[in-house]
Amino acid sequence: MNIVVTVKQVPDTWAEKKLDPSDMTTDRATVDNVLNEMDEYGVEEALLLKEAHGGEVTAVTMGPDKAVEAVRKALQMGADKGVHLCDASLHGSDALQTASALAKVIAPLNPDVVIVSSEASDARGGVVGALLAEYLGLPQLTLARKVTADPGGGTVTIERQTDNGYATVLGKLPVVVGVIEKINEPRYPSFKGIMAAKKKPLVTMTAADAGIDPGSAGPSGAYSEVDEAQPRPPKAAGQVVKDEGDGGAKLAAFLADQKLV
Amino acid sequence: MAEVLVLVEHADGEPKKVTAELLTLARRFGEPSAVFLGGPGTYAKAKDFLARYGAQKVYVAESADIDGYVVAPKAEVLAGLFGSAAPAALLVAATAEGREVAARAAAKTGSGLVWDVVDVAPGLVVTQQVFGGSTIVRSHVTKGTPVITVRPNSAAPEEAPATPEEQQVDVAVSDAAKAAQVSDRVVEGKSGRPDLTEASIVVSGGRGLGAAENFRLVEELADLMGGAVGASRAATDAGWYPHQAQVGQTGKTVSPQLYVAVGISGAIQHRAGMQTSKTIVAINKDPEAPIFELADFGIVGDLFNVVPQLTEELRKRQ
């Protein structure tokens, strides 16, 4: 199977994130950046599919120069090839533009399965899987908590997480699969994997290489605009008391006083 | 005033509370038109609710295809309404599926998408609380029909009884939209508790609980207050509670009237999913725990003493 997995470099989950006031985009310069934690589940699922059915895994990202580190991490985990869409004109693209640009990179790779994760921990849109299905015209098998491929039968079946359980969903290859957190146990790159990754093919593409219309990229082509951004005002300090054997009763009194119970 | 489309969030026809919130928001800047997408015969259960919360019109699209295929049929019907109704905006609940439907409807119509919005002002300027609520952003859509997903619990639902005009919508789903076929739906673990993201009260447990079985303290308290049960990542990573209940940067974002943090230290991972809650109370044995910086009321103590006493006191007050 020809498997493509999308990855994104994001500020570390544990970092205090903020917007760059100059252009209202996520500030990536003042924080540690890592492979989006959720994407590790996507990469792992791609590797599991490859191990079960053969083929190769290509990790694709879009982002500034250093975002290539996200692809490199995927290569270290075991992906075979990498593609990095990197172009200053793409900076400030919104989710619709990003998904559209990724679709332009992914389509010529002729994947059987495109794997995305449920969301990135910075923007938390959770829409790229659905949008890739839309732009690529492929079955949307997202919010998957279990993925079963049947390359012989030409299908993929997933368990799609719902509010109160799951739905069994089937799509004919090629498909877009979106995986949720905890679907698997992502592997750590081994020393061998880290060494091998250095020799794996990694292509850098510009917007023009991908056939992206320059007018459609970046803030000028965006579908929405940020007017202002402010840090949340600090919360007024609350009351913290030590339990002297009546902590539960005090808390109950507080809740009753606030008419919350 | 222009029509504002509100996608009805429902379970087999039973509208969810967030639908009333969306209708209430929509009335601020237009005439709310509810869009009901569901299986055959499901609309009847939603009808009175939509009238009560002020829908001026209801587009009713009932078809087995709506639930028979993933997301794409819903997006197609909505995109069709953009053409025929020329609405000022579309409001959708920011649920896992809602945001996918909204995104595809936006993509189909060349419209802008803004998500997880907590407020919509006249002029369709939306407010978002990004990065786990640490930054407040105001933005607006610049192309097409603004598609806005709204975080549950963002507006207090207000009744505004109306007699909506009903308009049946033909559901003619394209072959392309039938690509991801649903063969089965399975309901699991019916707890009888409200949805985590919709609940007015959330009681969450963390590392301090020490073991899976101690979550019964959290469940008991939640059930007494009619709340949902959440868990910190430490608790779900340890396998004490299902991942679906995880509140945080990875996991669900909740914004209830009351959030009760039991044995949760309040690392940024967790705060990012709950710090916009209206009232926060915390019980933790570590006085330095960051959760106390957010708490309106905190008890430094042993949760195994404090929580049972709290539950007992609340029971007495009922």
Query: A135 to chain B: nearest residue by CA?
Result: B107
For each of the domains in chain A, give its residue range(s) and CATH number, in order of start.
2-221 (3.40.50.620)
A241 touches chain B (CB under 8 A): yes
B141 touches chain A (CB under 8 A): yes
Which chain B residues in 235-254 lie under 8 Å from chain A, judged by CB atoms? 236, 243-244, 246, 249-251, 253
- Contact: A122, B131; criterion CB under 8 Å: yes
Span B188-200, mean pLDDT?
86
Average pLDDT, chain A: 95
pLDDT above 90 as % of chain A = 82
On chain A, the residues whose CB falls within 8 A of the CB of B141 are 223-224
- pLDDT tens for each residue of A121-151: 888 899 999 999 999 999 999 999 999 999 9
Residue A243: which of B129, B268, B306 has the nearest Cβ? B306
pLDDT at B105 over 90: yes
Span A230-256, mean pLDDT?
93
Average pLDDT, chain B: 95
Q: How far apart are CA B11 and CA A111, in angstroms?
A: 35
Q: With contact defined as beta carbons under 8 Å apart, do B18 and B49 qualify? A: no
pLDDT at B288 over 90: yes
- Contact: A14, B268; criterion CB under 8 Å: yes
pLDDT at B308 over 90: yes
List all residues 6 or more positions away from B102 whose beta carbon is below 8 Å from its beta carbon: A127, B7, B90, B92, B113, B115, B147, B148, B149
β-bridge pairing A140-150 and A155-162: antiparallel
List all residues 6 or more positions away from B138 whose beta carbon is below 8 Å from its beta carbon: A226, A227, A228, A229, B125, B126, B127, B128
pLDDT for res B188: 85
Which chain B residues in 260-279 lie under 8 Å from chain A, judged by CB atoms? 267-269, 279
Q: What pTM did the predictor assign?
A: 0.94
- Contact: A130, B104; criterion CB under 8 Å: yes
Query: Which secondary-structure segment (H or E) carries A151?
Result: none
Span B179-208, mean pLDDT?
92
Of B148, B116, B139, B134, the C-alpha closest to B276 is B134
- Number of helices (H) and strands (E) in chain B: give both, helices first: 10, 17
Q: CA of B56, closest CA in chain A: separation in Å?
A: 28
Span B159-173, mean pLDDT?
96
- Contact: A18, B11; criterion CB under 8 Å: no
> Which two tokens mark B4?
């504002």
- Contact: A255, B97; criterion CB under 8 Å: no
pLDDT at B54 over 80: yes
Give the number of other CB atoms < 10 A from CB of residue A65: 10
pLDDT for res B190: 67
pLDDT tier, A86 (very low <50, low <70, confident <90, very high otherwise): very high
- pLDDT tens for each residue of A151-191: 999 999 999 999 888 999 999 999 999 999 889 999 999 99
Which chain A residues in 18-57 lie under 8 Å from chain B, judged by CB atoms? 18-19, 24, 37-38
Q: With contact defined as beta carbons under 8 Å apart, do A166 and A159 qualify? A: yes
Beta strand extents in chain B (DSSP E only): 3-7, 10-11, 14-15, 31-38, 57-62, 89-93, 113-121, 125-130, 135-141, 147-150, 165-168, 180-187, 201-205, 228-231, 258-262, 279-284, 297-300
Q: Which residue has the tokens 């919709």?
A: B198
A162 touches chain B (CB under 8 A): yes
- Determine which of A8, A16, A140 to mutate to test the interface with B (most B C-beta atoms within 10 Å): A140
Q: CA of A247, closest CA in chain B: separation in Å?
A: 6
- pLDDT tens for each residue of A182-231: 899 999 999 999 999 999 999 999 999 999 998 898 998 999 999 999 99
Peptide bond connecting B122 to the previous residue in cis, omega within 30 degrees of 0: no
On chain A, the residues whose CB falls within 8 A of the CB of B73 are none
- pLDDT tens for each residue of B140-157: 999 999 999 999 999 999
- Contact: A164, B187; criterion CB under 8 Å: yes
pLDDT at B299 over 70: yes
ipTM of the complex: 0.94
Which chain A residues in 169-188 lie under 8 Å from chain B, judged by CB atoms? 169-172, 175, 181-182
Q: With contact defined as beta carbons under 8 Å apart, do B266 and A240 qualify? A: no
On chain A, the residues whose CB falls within 8 A of the CB of B314 are 252, 255, 261
Residue B309: which of A168, A242, A248 has the nearest Cβ? A248
On chain A, the residues whose CB falls within 8 A of the CB of B299 are 240-243, 247-248, 250-251
- Chain centroid to Cα B232, Å, comes to 19
A163 touches chain B (CB under 8 A): yes
- Determine which of A32, A135, A228, A251 to mutate to test the interface with B (most B C-beta atoms within 10 Å): A251
pLDDT at A48 over 70: yes
pLDDT for res A14: 74
- Determine which of B276, B286, B313 to mutate to test the interface with A (most A C-beta atoms within 10 Å): B313
Amino acid present at B21? E
Q: How far apart are CA B149 and CA A100, in angstroms?
A: 20
Q: Among the listed ranges A29-33, A103-107, B200-204, which one has the minimum average pLDDT value?
A: A29-33
Q: CA of A32, closest CA in chain B: separation in Å?
A: 15
A242 touches chain B (CB under 8 A): yes
pLDDT for res A234: 83
pLDDT above 70 as % of chain B = 100
